[in-house]
Amino acid sequence: MEVKKTRNTEKQNLVKDILSKTEHTMSAEDIMAAMPIKVNKTTIYRILDRFAAKGEVHFVTGKNGKAYYALCNGCGVSHDIHNHIHFECQECQEVTCLPNKLSIPNLEGFTINETQFLIIGVCNKCKA
Ligand SMILES: [Zn+2]
Ligand SMILES: [Zn+2]
Ligand SMILES: [Zn+2]
């Protein structure tokens, strides 16, 4: 029991470490490929879901329908409400958190539970 717990913590720390070292967001597959130990995709998703629920990680859904994750660094208005823009590059496929923020409108009669802002185009690196 204790061993299992330690291993889970180790995997969680590795996921966090990988996310902290990237300048862009990562899909579960990207994280899995960067892991120094073999961890299946279901476990990666479970770890990411847990982090997202705690407000430690947020994600944006890319054009291909995949979720791209980034560590939260005080970037959320609340756990699931984020107002910064994400940029998906059509050339390198990287999805990046941008510092640019949008104001979230007050939608009369609607409840906002989650926000995702994605702009698609060509990034600086690919344009150069
Ligand atoms: Zn965040
Ligand atoms: Zn690019
Ligand atoms: Zn972001």
Which class does domain 2-127 fall in? mainly alpha
Annotated binding site for Zn(2+): 89, 92, 123, 126
Task: List the pLDDT tens digit at each of the 128 positions of the chain.
Answer: 556 667 889 999 999 999 999 989 999 999 999 999 999 999 999 999 999 999 999 999 999 999 999 999 889 888 889 999 999 999 999 999 999 999 999 999 999 999 999 999 999 999 98
Q: Where are the domains of the chain?
A: 2-127
* CB contact set of 28 (below 8 Å; sequence gap of 6+): 41, 44, 45, 48, 66, 67, 69
| 8 A C-beta contact, residue 122 and residue 88 | no
Residues found in the chain:
128
- Per DSSP, the residues of 70-95 read EE-SS-BSSSS-B-EEEEEETTT--E
* Distance between Cα 122 and ligand 1 center (Å): 23
Q: What is the DSSP pairing of strand 95-101 with strand 118-121?
A: unpaired
